[in-house]
Amino acid sequence: MKKLKIAVQKSGRLNEDSMKLLKDIGISVDNGKDQLKASARNFPLEVFYLRNGDIPQYLRDGVVDAAIIGENVLVEKGQDLTIVEKLGFSKCKVSIAVPKSVKYTSIKELEGKRIATSYPNTVNEFLDKNGVKANIHIINGSVEIAPNIGLADAIVDIVSSGSTLFKNNLKEAEVLLTSEAVLASSPNLDTEAKAILNKIQFRIQSVLKGTS
């Protein structure tokens, strides 16, 4: 029997909630942290544990059929991909932050400045929209450290509780987008895969109705 291949975040904040959702819809997966792939015991589903940033390309190429992923990652790298269902968890913002000591009144103040981020496309789109030119430095993690070590004047990163900004003496200056976890699909699913995905979506909708 055909199995639907679904990608979830390998490790990080989305992983736990994604696995909980699968459990809530009655799908049990052996969650071997060291395994990159696991099969569900009671449903035609194969789970692939992948890095967030790699998931859009896997979906596009049809290496996986579906994914539980943050909308923010799709905005950055997968605007061509389809959101099947918003999942209501892992809510966050992607925001510009500047040192607390800086007086920030408008995005124009970032003209010619250095911005550190893991979301270059999202930042560029926002800057273009506002007619501002700045220098983007791509960093893949611990972005909030950049202003403190003199690497950047501002950062763009995910804000959830706000605690990372606070600990690094930064303040939110602009919200670029709000995001939550979504179920996304590969563009060219065959009939069988579509049918399995529909089943999953139906179960998710029932669970979401029950909790809202």
Q: Does 191 bind ligand PRP (CB under 6 A)?
A: no
For the CB of residue 198, give the shortest distance to ligand PRP in the complex, in Å.
Answer: 32
Residues numbered 133 to 152 that lie near ligand PRP (CB under 6 A) are: 141-142, 144
Q: How far apart are CA 59 and CA 3, in angstroms?
A: 15
Q: Which residues pair with 92 in a beta bridge?
A: 179
Q: Considering only CA atoms, which of 175, 195, 173 is closest in space to residue 185?
A: 195
Find the binder of ligand PRP among 164, 189, 192, 208 (CB under 6 A). Answer: 164
* Unique residue bearing structure tokens 């789970």: 47
User: Which H helix or E strand runs over 98?
Assistant: strand 92-99
For the CB of residue 170, give the shortest distance to ligand PRP in the complex, in Å.
Answer: 10
Cα–Cα distances (Å) from 151 to 123, 137, 173, in that order, read 17, 9, 18
> Angle, nearest 10°, between helix axes 191-211 and 13-24?
90
For the CB of residue 1, give the shortest distance to ligand PRP in the complex, in Å.
Answer: 37
Determine how many CB atoms are found less than 10 A away from the CB of residue 203. 17
Quick one: 99 or 162, whose CB is closer to ligand PRP?
Answer: 162
Residues numbered 11 to 30 that lie near ligand PRP (CB under 6 A) are: 12-13
Find the binder of ligand PRP among 38, 136, 158, 189 (CB under 6 A). Answer: 158
Q: Does 76 bind ligand PRP (CB under 6 A)?
A: no
Quick one: 72 or 186, whose CB is closer to ligand PRP?
Answer: 72
Find the binder of ligand PRP among 65, 157, 170, 196 (CB under 6 A). Answer: 157
Quick one: 51 or 129, whose CB is closer to ligand PRP?
Answer: 51
Whether 33 and 46 have beta carbons less than 8 Å apart is answered as no
| Single-letter code of the amino acid located at 176 | L
Residues that bind ligand PRP (CB under 6 A): 12-13, 141-142, 144, 157-164
